[in-house]
């Protein structure tokens, strides 16, 4: 998301400005919601394994907390920028609001590459990040979670440091923790399943049976794998999936007209989600260029990898057969591509609605930790289904009523909820 050509925060602000016009927001509310309420930038000195001290740059952005404590991941990335963090914090505000959970948007990061750091060095970065922010985060203020290149282990180190500083147990301070240490059942499935709950509702509206549909999926990480699992259980057939090849540093698409078999693909996948090309061919898969997932003759496209993937350049290549695009990834579609997709009359389930299962389940984890009582997996996934379904129905009803594009309808609901909270608190 970094780089001079693509500024994620400018894209987030452009999306906001567009919807602020639809809502006819007043100048003060626009000024308040267009930029984050608070930003922290700090240095984290770490004594490395060889004895020298390295100084890492850390961030936390709290975009808006009018509806509740901020919530959002912490990513470790060598190209992390403050603008990326600002954009993701902003999107988190809208994501929490669209599924109507009482949280606001936050995001954090550290400029580092965990691939080149020992476990001890990573632990020192985690503890240093918390030491810099211990007064400004917490279960009633700002609740972090894992993101790109961070895991449940990183969250535990952060939790331990936070509890050591404050001298009490605060399991609700951070989410994405391992099971048995405050983690929630259902969390690993949550984002992928949430995508498919919304797809199921979209198919109902279009009067299409899941078993009569085919899909193509970009990415083969956590979101993609669980989306494929649930979609296949509903009777759908995935005929193409793309994955990133760590050795070639490029992506490939794997196609099987009879339908991909999730279990056999997982057996030949490395820990980065890269599918072994030679073994896939032996299993009867056609190995195609990475972008070919987009041009398949299917009913449903699920981009579940990176941002900025469906663009003005390639959106025209989408098959006329495609009826639904469900955005499992954050920001996969550019505004230029949206115009082409609108003209093709494809039903879009926008990212911050489609992939809100993750933050919804993080909210469930926080609730369970704060009351020190944990639910069974079926209860977690049942509550997730209710939340995702009602959010989808609210957005699609508004889209139909006001003749809005689904992305615009989702933004109208989310931004209106946050604007109202700010007004009712007397902030504007």
Residue pLDDT tens, the chain, 428 long? 444 467 889 989 998 999 999 999 999 999 999 999 999 999 999 999 999 999 999 999 999 999 999 999 999 999 899 999 999 999 999 999 999 999 999 999 999 999 899 999 999 999 999 999 999 999 999 999 998 889 999 999 999 999 999 999 999 999 999 999 999 999 989 999 999 999 999 999 999 999 999 999 999 988 999 999 999 999 999 999 999 887 788 899 999 999 999 999 999 998 777 899 999 999 999 999 989 999 999 999 999 988 788 989 999 999 999 999 999 998 899 888 999 999 999 999 999 999 999 999 999 999 999 999 999 999 999 999 999 999 999 999 999 999 999 999 999 999 999 999 999 999 99
Q: What's the CATH number for 189-354?
A: 3.40.50.720
Q: What is the pTM of this model?
A: 0.91
The DSSP secondary-structure symbol of 79 reads T
Query: Residue 259 half-sphere exposure, CB side, CA atoms within 13 Å?
Result: 16
- Give the Cβ contact number of residue 426 at 10 Å: 6
Res 221: pLDDT: 86
Which residues are identified as catalytic? 107
Res 2: pLDDT: 40
Is the CB of residue 60 less than 8 Å from the CB of residue 106?
yes
Domain with CATH 3.40.50.720 in the chain: 189-354
Residue with token string 């490939």: 252
Is the CB of residue 64 less than 8 Å from the CB of residue 419?
no
Q: Distance between CA atoms of 120 and 294, rounded to whole angstroms? A: 41
Q: Distance between CA atoms of 203 and 210, rounded to whole angstroms? A: 7
- Give the pairing type, strands 237-245 and 250-255: antiparallel
Query: Residue 353 half-sphere exposure, CB side, CA atoms within 13 Å?
Result: 28
Domain with CATH 3.40.50.10860 in the chain: 11-17+37-170
User: For 11-17+37-170, which CATH class?
Assistant: alpha beta
Is the CB of residue 126 less than 8 Å from the CB of residue 154?
yes
Q: Distance between CA atoms of 229 and 238, rounded to whole angstroms? A: 10
Residue with token string 């109507």: 100
Structure tokens at 123: 């632990």
């Amino acid at each position: 998301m970094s780089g001079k050509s693509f500024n994620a925060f400018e894209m987030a602000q452009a999306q906001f400005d567009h919807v602020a016009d639809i809502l006819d927001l007043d100048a003060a509310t626009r000024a308040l919601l267009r930029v984050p309420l608070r930003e922290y930038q700090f240095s984290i000195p770490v004594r490395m394994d060889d004895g020298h001290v390295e100084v890492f740059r850390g961030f936390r952005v709290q975009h808006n907390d009018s509806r509740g404590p901020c919530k959002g991941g912490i990513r470790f990335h060598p190209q992390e920028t403050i603008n990326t963090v600002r954009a993701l914090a902003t999107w988190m505000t809208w994501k929490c609001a669209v599924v109507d959970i009482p949280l606001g948007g936050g995001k954090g990061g550290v400029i580092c590459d965990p691939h080149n750091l020992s476990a001890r060095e990573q632990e020192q970065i985690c503890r240093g990040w918390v030491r810099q922010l211990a007064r400004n985060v917490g279960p009633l203020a700002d609740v972090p979670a894992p993101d790109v290149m961070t895991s449940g282990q990183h969250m535990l180190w952060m939790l331990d440091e936070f509890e050591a500083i404050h001298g009490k147990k605060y399991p609700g301070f951070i989410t994405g923790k391992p099971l048995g240490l405050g983690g929630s059942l259902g969390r690993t499935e949550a984002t992928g399943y949430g995508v498919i709950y919304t797809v199921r509702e979209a198919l109902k509206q279009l009067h299409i049976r899941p078993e009569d549909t085919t899909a193509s999926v970009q990415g083969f990480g956590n979101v993609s794998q669980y989306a494929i699992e649930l979609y296949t259980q509903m009777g759908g057939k995935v005929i193409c999936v793309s994955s990133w090849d760590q050795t070639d540093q490029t992506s490939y698409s794997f196609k099987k007209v009879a339908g991909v078999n999730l279990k056999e693909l997982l057996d030949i996948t490395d820990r980065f989600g890269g599918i072994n090309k030679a073994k896939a061919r032996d299993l009867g898969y056609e190995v195609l260029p990475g972008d070919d997932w987009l041009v398949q003759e299917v009913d449903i496209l699920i981009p579940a990898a990176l941002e900025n993937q469906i663009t003005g350049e390639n959106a025209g290549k989408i098959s006329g057969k495609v009826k639904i695009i469900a955005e499992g990834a954050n920001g996969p579609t550019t505004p230029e591509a949206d115009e082409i997709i609108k003209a093709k009359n494809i039903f879009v389930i926008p990212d911050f609605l489609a992939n809100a299962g993750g933050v919804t389940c993080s909210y469930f984890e926080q609730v369970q930790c704060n009351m020190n009582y944990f639910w069974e997996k079926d209860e977690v996934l049942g509550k997730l289904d209710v939340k995702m379904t009602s959010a989808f129905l609210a957005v699609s009803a508004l889209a139909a009523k006001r003749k809005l594009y689904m992305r615009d309808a989702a933004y109208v609901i989310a931004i209106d909820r946050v604007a109202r909270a700010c007004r009712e608190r007397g902030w504007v």
